[in-house]
Amino acid sequence: MERERSKNFAHLNIGILTSGGDAPGMNAAIRAVTRPALHLGHRVLGVRRGYHGLWRGDIYEMNSRTVSEIIHKGGTFLMTARSKTFETPEGMQKAVNMCKVFEIDVVVAIGGDGTFNGALALSEAGIPVIAIPATIDNDIACTEYAIGYDTALNTAIEAIDKLRDTASSHERCSVVEVMGRHAGYLALHTGVTAGAEVVLIPEVDFDFQKDIVHTLIEDRNAGKNHYIVVVAEGATSALDLAKRIEEATGIESRATTLGYLQRGGSPSWRDRFMASLIGLKAVDCLDARRFNRAICMQNGDIVDLDLKEALTMTKTIDAGYVEYLDRLTM
Ligand code: F6P
């Protein structure tokens, strides 16, 4: 039987949360859902600390002013968390109960793969959802783009441009580790655009002698006096690799791990723009009561896909870019 509610059914009570690793542009996405939804007469409730806050009831009503002055801020003002409890049947039941207590009709979940899977589980427990892609790894298979990726790329290339200065002054090899535990998009696209001689990604095995030593020796023989090697954290450790390179080639090598630098910072134009378009698409789905959808970029367009179907999709990294390196840096 339809749940009685003191209010009319013309509007929705929309819960919104950010989950998993934060990403620059998450605030812009929260804003791009909240303002248009309020404008259509819906209520928006902020859920702090992701799914952890959902089952704990860390929930409060937001208004247009709540999302003022945030489009340019990195991180997520709703905070985020990884919640083991939510992954248990008891935790899920607590989350469903809390949605009923706060009369939440639908949850907008902003985050990466883990967030999308959590949203699907929540929908299967009876709470409608909309999933918005946001992760600096850009490794969500159903979408060409995830919010945060462009800002992280720019952070990485700005850092590597600086490292190149000192590497050239000291005639060194700078080995730079970027994020990407399981995916090499950050490493690959950073490497190509930062002028790296070598890029190592989790998706492609490498041969130390052929792919690294031989490449660097060839470059040195061609007159290079400094070298940039970009590695994804999921491929290898920059520290270990720098030691091996120095031992094998005699080229003085230094390691830098960019780490969490890539997760912060004011979102770039592209991330603010993408977050705004994606948020507006999410509100279109909400207002049309088109629930359990994943908002994605496909063929350059912002579309909404069935969430369950979206999570069956796969995408493979275009490792062909690695071949560009040989042509661009020899
Ligand atoms: O998923 C984004 C990401 O930054 C990965 O690149 C990285 O390996 C992971 O999050 C780190 O997770 P945490 O913030 O929980 O340490």
For the cut 90, the answer to whether the pLDDT of residue 325 exceeds it is no
Q: Which position has the token pair 């720019």?
A: 154
The domain ranges of the chain are 13-148+267-310, 151-263
Is the domain spanning 151-263 CATH 3.40.50.150? The answer is no
- Exactly one of 105, 137, 139, 304 is catalytic; name it: 137
For position 259, what pLDDT does the model report?
97
For position 82, what pLDDT does the model report?
86
State whether the beta carbon of 138 lies less than 6 angstroms from ligand 1: no
State whether the beta carbon of 135 lies less than 6 angstroms from ligand 1: yes
Split at pLDDT 50, 70, 90, the class of 6 is very low
Q: Which position has the token pair 């002013």?
A: 65
List, in sequence order, every residue forming a beta bridge with 298; answer none if it has no partner. 301
Is the domain spanning 13-148+267-310 CATH 3.20.20.30? The answer is no
Amino acid at 142: C
Burial class from Cβ neighbours inside 10 Å (0-12, 13-18, 19+) for residue 300 reads exposed
For the cut 60, the answer to whether the pLDDT of residue 97 exceeds it is yes
Protein residue with least CA distance to atom 2, ligand 1? 21
State whether the beta carbon of 112 lies less than 6 angstroms from ligand 1: yes
Contacts of 238 (CB under 8 A, 6+ apart): 175, 176, 177, 231, 255, 256, 257
List, in sequence order, every residue forming a beta bridge with 254; answer none if it has no partner. 174
Mind listing the pLDDT tens digit for each residue in 252-261?
Answer: 999 999 999 9
Mind listing the pLDDT tens digit for each residue in 256-291?
Answer: 999 999 999 999 999 999 999 999 999 999 999 999
For position 47, what pLDDT does the model report?
98
Greater confidence, 328 or 143? Answer: 143
Largest alpha-carbon pair distance within the chain? 78
**Rounded to the nearest whole angstrom, what is the distance from the C-alpha of residue 280 to the centroid of ligand 1?**
27
For position 9, what pLDDT does the model report?
60
Protein residue with least CA distance to atom 14, ligand 1? 21
Mind listing the pLDDT tens digit for each residue in 204-248?
Answer: 999 999 999 999 999 999 999 999 999 999 999 999 999 999 999
Q: CA of 329: how far to CAs of 156, 186, 192, in Å?
A: 19, 19, 9
- Residue range 97-118: average pLDDT? 98
Helices (H), the chain: 26-39, 50-56, 89-101, 113-124, 149-169, 185-194, 214-221, 238-249, 269-287, 307-310, 320-329
- Residue range 107-119: average pLDDT? 98
For position 3, what pLDDT does the model report?
46
**Rounded to the nearest whole angstrom, what is the distance from the C-alpha of residue 166 to the centroid of ligand 1?**
28
| Same fold? 13-148+267-310, 151-263 | yes
For position 330, what pLDDT does the model report?
65
Closest to 78 (Cα-Cα) out of 48, 50, 43: 48
Opening angle at CA 192, ends 20 and 161, nearest 5: 85
Is residue 113 part of the annotated active site? The answer reads no
Q: Residues of the chain with pLDDT > 90: what percent?
A: 92
